[in-house]
Structure 1
Amino acid sequence: MSQAAETPSIPHPAAWLVRIPEVLEGVAEEVLKRFGAATQTRLGKDYYLIKTLTPQAIHLSEAAKFARWNLPMDHTWPCNPQKMDGFIEKAAQTLLKKFGDRQPHGLFIGQLNATSPDKYYKSLASNLRGRALQIFPKLAANTVEEQDPTLPTLFCLVGKEGLFCGMQTPRLSNGLYAGGSKYIDQDSPDTISRAGAKIAEALHYLLLHRPPLAKGSHWVELGACPGGMTSELLAREQRVTAIDRAPLDRRLDNRAGLKFVHADVATFTPQPGTVYDVVLSDLNGPPHESMDHVIRLSRFLKAKGLVVFTLKVPKIETVSEPCDLFRRTVKTATAAGLRLFAQTHLTYNRHEFTLFFEKAG
């Protein structure tokens, strides 16, 4: 027997790009440890380039909820694009050479530092995608929301640190955009509160798991004041029964599709025969109390109906404490016939996670 045959093979570490939101930076080291990171390099504000022997932990460990987005690194090109002649053409040809035969169904390129006021890399990402699409075989998904979440997309991120690319399904990456975030314009004079951006992004995120909700779907919103989420839902032609002890913003007065119940959520009981498509809870206060309200009202939720639940946690200083709270909350919901099918930390979440449940059919 040869020496090569006698020597056991050693697994090769997988390179992976992981995005841990800046608000969760205090637990990033612990999260990466749970992902099995043997090495790590910080890229931009939120990203970590790691090498791990256990990449499955990025998707399956309980710490996965702390990573907003992830991508296997099939190609990395450390460089300074701003100082390189012909970067766009060289990068586009490299993408075609390395990924053209793998037939991605979409190609999307974003910035490593998407919130930077410097527009150079936003323009560079757009121009690079434009050139790559000219030379790639025709792709099935032309826009972000045309993607099939179960088919591999070629995602790339570009910044002053270089170009970082990989192929993975949007569902496994936990986002339809390169980087995972759908940024919502909050500068409009019609914006009532930042909570509106949370539900707008949550609806976009849901496309990873379900078809879009039909127009006219009936939501019951718990703790709706001042009405940021209500406003966004009405703008999408949804019907909303909004409940709160405090009044809604006057800009929502007489809005079509809105019923406002000026009451404590704990005392609200729908009329017999009422059926909701979605229960929405962004309540402040102890999560077990919020979930109790959701469970009580889920009796009026149709089979396969949706629950969008914001899990508020104390200031996140460890991984274990939020995970314990998460497990208890999900256990309570599961016992009541609500199945968790997705969870994430949205761009507009702070010390909180957004959980998605479906009522048993």
Structure 2
Amino acid sequence: MTDRATNTASQDQHPWLVRIPEIFSGISSPILRQMGALSSTRLGLDYYLIKTANPAAVRQSEAAKFARWNLPMEHTWPCNPQKMDGFIEKAAQTLLKKFGSRNPQGIFIGTLQPTSPDKYYKGLASNLRGRVLQLFPKLPAATVEEQSPEAETLFCLVGKEGLFCGMQSPRASNGLYAGGSKYIDQDSPDTISRAGAKIAEALHFLLLYRPPMQEGSHWIELGACPGGMTSELLARNQRVTAIDRAPLDKRLDGRPGLRFFLEDVATFQPRAGTTYDALLCDMNGPPEESIEQVIRLSRFLKKGGLVVFTLKLPRVDSLEEPNELFRLIVGMSISAGLRLFAQTHLTYNRHELTMFFETV
């Protein structure tokens, strides 16, 4: 191959960082193939540094739904920061030189092992961001929530493998944080179930697409027991009509804003004239049956009303079966007047995807 041909091939290979949740690691190879990966190197627990000939496929292929986060790689520094003198200053000066003229809306730095008990790299990420912000002019987004979903942010990830950086909008990256959406700690003794963390993270993810739900918004929750999601919504000053055949946790008794119906979702019928702002469904069982109840009750949503639906997947051993199920659920929803505008895998999802619809 000539030097010119070699250079052309290299230019056609775009470096990208992709985060595939560990629960889908068994199908990471077909996921990356559908994303056009020509090669891949695993970093940290969930991350894959790939070279792709088709950057659009990273975000638009059917496999993209299984990736929690992605970022084009515009600066990579393979190294061991813990063993390097002056790492923070060298890294900060390089980031200023490479990205300073591009006016990022904000700079956010995370770690390649976000759930590791080792605090070294969390401290390093924080200290590096502090030094970088001293060097850059004041940026519009000082906090994660102040970001515009569509403006470019400088995201960086650091770990024992080195420093990995690029600029992209939070919406294109599929998360407001470096590495994804907000991690919700559920170690409190007052926690009813991990489902509370799922809806908390889902609401944070929704900031990529919609304004926050107003206080006093009325939710209908299908299959609410034991009440983890109910509790989280009530804590956010939302009103909840919860339905389940099993009772809610006793700690929810008498909570303001809560109406509970101890009955089967399939037989529940709202009173005439009732409307809701949002519908939440995290029911177990066949997803085709769950989405039928979502569709039936979605006619009580206001125009533009939100639906948050957990798609329970069979054990994921290949891409074909979950993709076929996903297409079925989307098709049923579209036929009923629901528009899918986003989907993601949340930290507390298992073999599940969280889907977001709105009424049209």
Moved over 4 A (4+): 3-11
Q: Secondary structure at the match of 2:16?
A: strand
Q: Percent identity?
A: 72
Give the Å deviation of 1:320: 1.3
* 1:286 aligned residue: 286
* 1:169 aligned residue: 169
* 2:353 aligned residue: 353
Change (3 A) 1:296 1:185: same
Give the Å deviation of 1:134: 0.5
Q: Distance in 2 between matches of 1:307 and 1:69?
A: 22
Q: Deviations for 1:9-67, whole angstroms, at most 9, x for unmatched residues?
A: 55520000000000110100110011111111000010000001011101110100010
In the alignment, does 2:265 pair up with 1:274? no
Q: Deviations for 1:64-108, whole angstroms, at most 9, x for unmatched residues?
A: 001000000000000000001111111111110000000000100
Q: Secondary structure at the match of 1:328?
A: helix
After superposing the two structures, state which structure 1 stretch, 284-293 or 179-188, moved more.
179-188
* 1:342 aligned residue: 342
- With normalisation by structure 1, the TM-score equals 0.97
Q: Distance in 1 between matches of 2:222 and 2:5?
A: 64
Q: Deviations for 1:262-287, whole angstroms, at most 9, x for unmatched residues?
A: 00000100011100000100010111
**1:228-267 matched pairs, under 5 angstroms:** 228-267=228-267
Change (3 A) 1:259 1:324: same
Q: Distance in 2 between matches of 1:4 and 1:110?
A: 38
* 1:223 aligned residue: 223
Q: Secondary structure at the match of 2:208?
A: coil
Q: Distance in 1 between matches of 2:212 and 2:264?
A: 30
* 1:27 aligned residue: 27
Q: Secondary structure at the match of 2:151?
A: coil
Q: Distance in 2 between matches of 1:337 and 1:320?
A: 26
Q: Secondary structure at the match of 2:196?
A: helix
Change (3 A) 1:47 1:8: closer
* 2:205 aligned residue: 205
Unaligned 5+ segments in structure 1 are none
Q: Secondary structure at the match of 1:63?
A: helix
Q: What residue identity is the alignment partner of 2:217?
A: S
- With normalisation by structure 2, the TM-score equals 0.97
Q: Is the 8 A contact 2:181 2:204 kept in 1?
A: no
Q: What residue identity is the alignment partner of 1:192?
A: I
Q: Deviations for 1:91-143, whole angstroms, at most 9, x for unmatched residues?
A: 11111000000000010000000111100000000000000001101100000
* 1:300 aligned residue: 300
Q: What residue identity is the alignment partner of 2:77?
A: W
Q: Distance in 1 between matches of 2:7 and 2:54?
A: 18
Q: Distance in 1 between matches of 2:278 and 2:169?
A: 27
* 1:322 aligned residue: 322
Q: What residue identity is the alignment partner of 1:349?
A: N
* 1:101 aligned residue: 101
* 1:51 aligned residue: 51
RMSD (CA atoms): 1.6
Q: Paired residues, what number?
A: 358
* 2:118 aligned residue: 118
Q: Secondary structure at the match of 2:204?
A: helix
Q: Distance in 2 between matches of 1:340 and 1:112?
A: 30
Change (3 A) 1:92 1:314: same
Q: What residue identity is the alignment partner of 1:205?
A: F
Q: Distance in 2 between matches of 1:294 and 1:72?
A: 37
* 1:157 aligned residue: 157
Q: What residue identity is the alignment partner of 2:123?
A: S
Change (3 A) 1:221 1:6: closer
Give the Å deviation of 1:7: 12
Q: Distance in 2 between matches of 1:313 and 1:225?
A: 20
Q: Deviations for 1:200-247, whole angstroms, at most 9, x for unmatched residues?
A: 000000000000010000000000000000000000000000000000
Change (3 A) 1:6 1:14: closer
Unaligned 5+ segments in structure 2 are none
Q: Distance in 2 between matches of 1:87 and 1:80?
A: 9
Q: Distance in 1 between matches of 2:98 and 2:295?
A: 50
Q: What residue identity is the alignment partner of 1:141?
A: A
Q: What residue identity is the alignment partner of 1:170?
A: P
